[in-house]
């Protein structure tokens, strides 16, 4: 995704509130190599792992809804109970969709999605607390169902196949066809591309299918990091991202950052460029990893309580 990398680098060069500490980049890369940190395996415990065509559809729905899991101020965080485990965030969504599908709710049918109501989505997700932007999520799934019916005979696999084994083409196809994947911002009169959820769909297919069938792509090395709110939290913790005093105070006080604001764009763009610097450094020191694999390593690190000492930035958005 050259346009994502180039615009991220441009923002990183002129950012006023976020900077990248290259010494910290080198330290973390050295640690990854010395400790032989491996890319986390695809988590089959929380994800649906059934019939291939249903799995593709499941992942497309999952990544269409993969955003904004933190609670609104004064509200309880949304989560679900899975056997003896309490889940929240992304894994709660993955598991809720898995359980709904296995119980017979036909959300892997395009006509069902096209007519999905708010009450039906609440039934699918279940759980406790409140997930933000529920009405937006309904509209996103309605749009997805309508597109699949109109152009792909109702099949998510046909959409994936139309990209011809190119992750980049699949990303651009999603961005072109579905408004909810058009993850783009303006920064000082320049357009900045992120494409977080579109890119993560390609990566999830690769992981879920072990690089085979609908997860077989010939250009996975061209994906970038997926600019969300967890990665910058981790990168800040390890000293790679440094925030100006005003921005640091906003984040630490959990002050909302407006979607598309300079602060928010700087955080996301510097996250992408920091991971690219890590990729370059690892390539030089014998720890060759692709950007999406570094992303998975960092995101997995972020699940540890130690990395949650400082808050992540909060932006109400459908893009991450």
Name the residues annotated as catalytic. 228
Tokens 């940190």 sit at which residue?
Answer: 37
Alpha carbon 161 to chain centroid, angstroms: 22
Q: What is the pLDDT of residue 184?
A: 98
Q: Please give the Cα distance from 128 to 103 (Å, whole number).
A: 19
Which residues neighbour 232 within 8 Å (Cβ) at sequence distance 6 or greater? 241, 267, 268, 270, 271, 312, 313
Which residues neighbour 82 within 8 Å (Cβ) at sequence distance 6 or greater? 46, 95, 99
Q: Please give the Cα distance from 178 to 203 (Å, whole number).
A: 18
Please check the confidence at residue 145 and state whether its pLDDT lies above 90. Answer: yes
- With cut-offs at 50, 70 and 90, classify the pLDDT of residue 84: confident
Q: What is the pLDDT of residues 249-293, one digit of tens each?
A: 999 999 999 999 999 999 999 999 999 999 999 999 878 999 999
Q: What is the pLDDT of residue 142?
A: 98
How many residues can be counted in the chain? 320
Q: What is the pLDDT of residues 150-159, one digit of tens each?
A: 999 999 999 9
Q: What is the pLDDT of residues 191-232, one digit of tens each?
A: 999 999 999 999 999 999 999 999 999 999 999 999 999 999
- With cut-offs at 50, 70 and 90, classify the pLDDT of residue 297: very high
Per the DSSP assignment, residues forming a β-bridge with 18 are: 243
Please check the confidence at residue 233 and state whether its pLDDT lies above 90. Answer: yes
Q: What is the pLDDT of residue 282?
A: 96
Of the candidate ranges 7-16, 117-126, 264-273, 280-289, the one whose mean pLDDT is the lowest: 280-289
Average pLDDT of every residue of the chain: 96
Q: Please give the Cα distance from 134 to 80 (Å, whole number).
A: 16
Please check the confidence at residue 32 and state whether its pLDDT lies above 90. Answer: yes
- With cut-offs at 50, 70 and 90, classify the pLDDT of residue 74: confident
Please work out, in degrees rounded to the nearest 5, the angle formed at the alpha carbon of residue 140 by the alpha carbons of 168 and 105. 105
Please check the confidence at residue 319 and state whether its pLDDT lies above 90. Answer: yes
Question: What percentage of the chain has pLDDT greater than the value 90?
Answer: 94
Q: What is the mean pLDDT of the segment spanning 118-146? A: 96
Please check the confidence at residue 180 and state whether its pLDDT lies above 90. Answer: yes
Contact yes or no for 69/78 (Cβ under 8 A): yes
E strands, 116-195, are 184-187, 190-193
């Amino acid at each position: 995704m050259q346009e994502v990398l180039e615009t991220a680098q441009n923002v990183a060069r002129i950012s006023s509130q976020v900077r990248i500490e290259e010494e910290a980049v080198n330290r973390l890369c050295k640690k990854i190599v010395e400790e032989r940190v491996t890319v986390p395996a695809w988590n089959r415990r929380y994800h649906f792992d059934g019939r291939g065509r249903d799995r593709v559809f499941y992942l497309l729905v999952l990544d269409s809804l993969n955003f904004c899991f933190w609670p609104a101020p004064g509200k309880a965080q949304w989560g679900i109970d899975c056997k003896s485990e309490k889940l929240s965030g992304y894994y709660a969504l993955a598991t809720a969709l898995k359980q709904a599908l296995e119980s017979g709710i036909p959300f892997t049918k395009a006509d069902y999605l096209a007519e999905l109501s708010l009450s039906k989505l609440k039934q699918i997700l279940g759980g406790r607390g409140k997930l933000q932007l529920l009405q937006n999520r309904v509209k996103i799934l309605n749009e997805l169902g309508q597109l699949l019916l109109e152009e792909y005979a109702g099949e998510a696999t046909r959409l994936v196949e139309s990209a011809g084994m190119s992750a980049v083409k699949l990303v651009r196809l999603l961005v072109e066809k579905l408004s909810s994947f058009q993850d783009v911002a303006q920064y000082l009169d320049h357009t900045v591309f992120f494409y977080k959820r579109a890119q993560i769909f390609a990566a999830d297919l690769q992981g879920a299918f072990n690089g085979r069938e609908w997860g077989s792509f010939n250009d996975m090395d061209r994906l970038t990091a997926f600019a969300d709110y967890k990665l910058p939290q981790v990168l800040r913790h390890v000293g790679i991202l440094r925030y100006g005093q005003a921005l640091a105070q906003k984040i630490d006080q959990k002050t909302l950052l407006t979607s598309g604001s300079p602060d928010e764009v700087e955080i996301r763009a510097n996250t992408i460029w920091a991971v690219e610097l890590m990729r370059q450094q690892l390539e030089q020191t014998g720890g060759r990893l692709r950007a999406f694999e570094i992303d998975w390593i960092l995101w997995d690190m972020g699940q540890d309580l130690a990395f949650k000492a400082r808050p992540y930035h909060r932006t109400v958005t459908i893009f991450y």
